[in-house]
């Protein structure tokens, strides 16, 4: 089955700096890669996603890049703000198969 590795497990950045979280996946047939943000005491919420036929997608301060050859994808957050502090999860999916999640990255943005 699919295996998703996520790094780093914790990340601290100064407010205004950029943050990058990286994930690798094992199943070359995976074709959908969502990113979820989980705030304290809440359920995960989709923030951005990318399909395998797209190399990069951007939504305001967040962007996701995908390298199919290397089987890795990354989340980029620019101009970080304290409200970006949360746990972020990457995931991979192949067709109608179930989502496989990474183990999460705790991002702390220091004011």
Partner 1 sequence: NAGVTQTPKFRVLKTGQSMTLLCAQDMNHEYMYWYRQDPGMGLRLIHYSVGEGTTAKGEVPDGYNVSRLKKQNFLLGLESAAPSQTSVYFCASTHGLAATDTQYFGPGTRLTVL
Q: Which residues bind partner 1 (CB under 8 A)?
A: 6, 9, 31-32, 34, 36, 41-46, 49, 51, 89, 93-96, 98-99, 101-104
Nearest distance, CB of residue 70 and partner 1, angstroms: 20
Give the chain's radius of gyration (CA, Å): 13
Rounded CA-CA distance 85/12 in Å is 9
Taking the least distance from each CB to partner 1, the nearer of 42 and 70 is 42
Taking the least distance from each CB to partner 1, the nearer of 41 and 111 is 41
Nearest distance, CB of residue 52 and partner 1, angstroms: 9
Taking the least distance from each CB to partner 1, the nearer of 46 and 110 is 46
Nearest distance, CB of residue 108 and partner 1, angstroms: 16
CA-angle at 50, arms to 79 and 86, nearest 5°: 45
Taking the least distance from each CB to partner 1, the nearer of 45 and 81 is 45
| 64: its two tokens | 């996701």
Nearest to 83 by CA among 60, 102, 65: 60
DSSP 8-state assignment for residue 85: -
Helix (H, G, I), strand (E, B) or coil at 96: coil
Nearest distance, CB of residue 107 and partner 1, angstroms: 15
């Amino acid at each position: 089955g699919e295996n998703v590795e996520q790094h780093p497990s914790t990340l601290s950045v100064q407010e205004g700096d950029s943050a990058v979280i990286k994930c690798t996946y094992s199943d070359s047939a995976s074709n959908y890669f969502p990113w979820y943000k989980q705030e304290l005491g809440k359920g995960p919420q989709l923030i951005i996603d990318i399909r395998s036929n797209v190399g990069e997608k951007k939504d305001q301060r967040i962007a996701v890049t995908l390298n199919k050859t290397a089987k890795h994808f990354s989340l980029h957050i620019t101009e970080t703000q304290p409200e970006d502090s949360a746990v972020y999860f990457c995931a991979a999916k192949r067709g109608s198969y179930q989502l496989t999640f990474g183990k999460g990255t705790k991002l702390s943005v220091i004011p």
